[in-house]
């Protein structure tokens, strides 16, 4: 089970949002590069980077910064936020980014099919859920989607993975939502990456026990605020 630290970017700074609300950012006192090098020193091999302004406004806002981060990291980087056009995907992948995350555009299966077949194994689908609603366009509103039907079709495509985030817990340190995990069991045959609400190392144990085949877990605030210690991280790095 991969542990994947999140680096969320807003106005060039490292932040975490509370339940996806742009009105409630927590800013951290270090640069994106400083954070990246810290996580690399800890032994993380993959980083989750989100262009929050890109997600909000529907266009990439931190591309140059993100490509610079990749040049300074020996592991893999996945990027999401504001990626709506094929040219955005091409610019990131040609710039060295390993995986591109699609949220809003992923709902359009024709587009998803086209780009995943053009870039097999390089596209990640991100589903940000709040109850039965799907968050799109930077979490500004929710839409209902026939998830079972959509996932059945999307699972046939050459995607790298599916990220499921519980928006109601994201950035809260409230702990994992057991009901949310139970709901995901029916899709446990897919390469799943989970996010939202991780508060400590015990939550990682819970996820691993309920979804033993899970590919990875995205961790944000719990790392930034010291709720998960370096020695606890090392255990998961050694078995992932």
Which residues belong to the active site? 8, 128
Query: Which H or E run contains 217?
Result: strand 216-219
Cα 94–Cα 96–Cα 99 angle in degrees, nearest 5: 95
Say how far apart CA 118 and CA 158 lie, in whole Å: 9
Structure-derived torsion over alpha carbons of residues 207, 212, 213, 219, reported in degrees to the nearest 10: 20
| Cα–Cα distance, 199 to 79 (Å, whole number) | 23
Q: Taking each helix axis from N to C terminus, what angle separates 63-71 and 32-42, rounded to the nearest 10 degrees?
A: 30
CA separation, residue 165 to residues 72, 114, 170, 194, 223 (Å): 27, 24, 7, 6, 17
3-class DSSP assignment, residue 23: strand
């Amino acid at each position: 089970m991969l542990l994947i630290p999140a680096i969320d970017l807003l106005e060039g700074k490292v932040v975490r949002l509370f339940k996806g609300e742009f009105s409630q950012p927590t800013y951290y006192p270090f640069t994106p590069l400083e954070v990246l090098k810290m996580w690399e020193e800890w032994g993380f091999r993959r980083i989750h980077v989100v262009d929050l302004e890109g997600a909000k406004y529907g266009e990439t806002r931190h591309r140059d910064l993100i490509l610079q981060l990749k040049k300074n990291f020996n592991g893999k980087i996945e990027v999401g936020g504001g990626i709506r056009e094929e040219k955005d995907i091409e610019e990131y992948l040609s710039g060295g980014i390993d995986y591109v995350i699609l949220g809003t555009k992923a709902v359009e299966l024709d587009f998803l099919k086209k780009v995943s077949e053009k870039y097999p194994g390089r596209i990640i689908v991100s589903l940000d859920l709040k109850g039965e609603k799907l968050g799109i366009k930077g979490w500004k509103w929710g839409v209902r989607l026939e998830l079972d039907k959509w996932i059945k079709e999307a699972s046939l495509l050459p995607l790298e993975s599916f990220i499921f985030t519980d928006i109601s817990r994201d950035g809260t340190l409230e702990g994992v939502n057991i009901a949310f995990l139970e709901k995901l069991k029916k899709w446990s045959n897919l390469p799943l990456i989970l996010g939202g609400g991780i508060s400590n190392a015990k939550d990682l144990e819970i996820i691993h026990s309920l979804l033993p085949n899970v590919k990875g877990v995205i961790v944000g605030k719990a790392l930034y605020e010291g709720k998960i210690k370096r020695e606890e991280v090392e255990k998961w790095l050694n078995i992932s």
